[in-house]
């Protein structure tokens, strides 16, 4: 099955109003509406969502947010609800990013609640999973990823899977300059696809998009994306440089066509 490539730019806690809108504008100029057989999504910081949304309006780039509350509304200081994001034109959210799991203490159960809330609200979700270096070196990588998936997908109905992309992001590869090899990514993606097959069915398993994230840069993107089970990438550092990010988007289109 041919899956439409997906590339997300996770800006994390970077940019300011001026540089964020300039970055978005540089991307929008290149990625004009309807011209690309790829889903490209940018995930700016919350305060810049509306401004970036205006800049990319009319291009083929969709707007994403880096987080979402697990609750509908109410006394939750600092939280941002799915409805608020939808109000601003947000289509995608990241859920379960390793920085939120490991640096901000989000447990699997909270990740699952956020995932369910986002899906119920009509958002599309990039669900991030991945093992730490210790978990990998002690032989637990697959179990960790499978446990994260089992918890996250517990309440997700089959008909929502068209709005889900899974990002395999080994924690040891994020922001370190040490990307997984194409073979490592292919193996992990196979495990993830196998999970979707047993949790749902083989048709949904072959249709779901699984992208790789962790130190993807223009020089390694083509090789990683050429792996048949890799459907694109979630890009951190390199998404802050328009030429690098656009080059990675091109590699995703080539890699997925030939992989």
Rg (C-alpha) for the chain, rounded Å, is 17
CB of 167 to ligand PGA, least distance (A): 7
3-state secondary structure of 69: coil
CB of 8 to ligand PGA, least distance (A): 8
Specify the stretch interacting with ligand PGA by CB under 6 A; choose among 70-78, 111-119, 180-188, 233-241. 233-241
Q: Is 236 in the site for ligand PGA (CB under 6 A)?
A: yes
Q: How open is the CA angle 29-225-212, to the nearest 5 degrees?
A: 90
CB of 136 to ligand PGA, least distance (A): 16
Q: Is 259 in the site for ligand PGA (CB under 6 A)?
A: no
Residues tagged active-site:
97, 169
Instruction: Return the residues of window 12-41 that contact ligand PGA according to CB under 6 A.
Output: none
Chosen residue from 149, 174, 249, 256 binding ligand PGA by CB under 6 A? 174
Instruction: Return the residues of window 59-88 that contact ligand PGA according to CB under 6 A.
Output: none
Contact indicator for 146, 108 with CB cutoff of 8 Å: no
Phi, psi of 240 (to 5 degrees): -85, -5
Site string for ligand PGA, 200-229 (x = CB under 6 A): -------------xxxx-------------
Chosen residue from 31, 144, 234, 248 binding ligand PGA by CB under 6 A? 234
CB of 237 to ligand PGA, least distance (A): 4
By beta-carbon proximity to ligand PGA, the closer residue of 161 and 248 is 248
Q: Is 235 in the site for ligand PGA (CB under 6 A)?
A: yes
Q: Which positions ≥6 away from 138 have C-beta within 8 Å?
A: none
Chosen residue from 6, 7, 9, 10 binding ligand PGA by CB under 6 A? 10
Tokens 């499978």 correspond to what residue? Answer: 146
CB of 94 to ligand PGA, least distance (A): 8
CB of 216 to ligand PGA, least distance (A): 5
Chosen residue from 237, 241, 253, 254 binding ligand PGA by CB under 6 A? 237
In the complex, which residue's CB is closest to ligand PGA?
236
Hey, what long-range contacts does 238-246 have (CB within 8 A, 24 or more apart)?
239/8, 239/9, 239/10, 239/11, 239/42, 240/9, 240/11, 240/14, 240/15, 240/23, 242/23, 242/26, 242/27, 242/30, 244/217, 244/218, 245/7, 245/9, 245/27, 246/27, 246/30, 246/31
Q: Is 175 in the site for ligand PGA (CB under 6 A)?
A: yes
Evaluated on CA atoms 156, 189, 105, 151, the torsion sign reads positive
Tokens 């947000």 correspond to what residue? Answer: 90
Tokens 């997906």 correspond to what residue? Answer: 6
Q: Is 248 in the site for ligand PGA (CB under 6 A)?
A: no
Q: Which of 76, 167, 170 is nearest to 117 (CA)?
A: 76
The residues binding ligand PGA (CB under 6 A) are 10, 169, 174-175, 213-216, 234-238
């Amino acid at each position: 099955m041919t899956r439409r490539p997906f590339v997300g730019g996770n800006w994390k806690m970077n940019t300011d109003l001026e540089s964020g809108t300039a970055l978005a504008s540089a991307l929008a100029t290149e990625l004009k509406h309807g011209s690309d057989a790829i889903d490209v999504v940018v995930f700016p910081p919350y305060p810049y969502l509306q401004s970036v949304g205006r800049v990319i309006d009319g291009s083929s780039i969709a707007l994403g947010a880096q987080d979402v509350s697990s609750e509908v509304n109410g006394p939750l200081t600092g939280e941002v609800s799915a409805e608020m994001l939808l109000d601003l034109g947000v289509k995608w959210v990241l859920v379960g990013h390793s920085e939120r799991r490991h640096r901000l203490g989000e447990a699997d159960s909270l990740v699952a609640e956020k995932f369910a809330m986002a899906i119920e609200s009509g958002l599309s979700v990039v669900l991030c999973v991945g093992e730490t270096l210790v978990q990998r070196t002690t032989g637990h990588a697959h179990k960790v990823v499978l446990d994260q998936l089992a918890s996250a997908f517990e309440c997700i109905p089959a008909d929502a899977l068209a709005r889900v992309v899974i990002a395999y992001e080994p924690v040891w590869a994020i922001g370190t300059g040490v990307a997984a090899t194409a073979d490592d990514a292919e193996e992990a993606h196979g495990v993830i696809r196998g999970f979707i097959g047993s949790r749902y069915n083989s048709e949904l398993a072959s249709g779901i998009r699984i992208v790789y994230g962790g130190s993807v840069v223009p020089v390694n993107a083509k090789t990683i994306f050429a792996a048949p089970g890799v459907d694109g990438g979630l890009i951190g550092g390199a998404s802050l440089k328009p030429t690098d990010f656009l080059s990675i988007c091109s590699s995703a289109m080539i890699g997925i066509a030939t992989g």
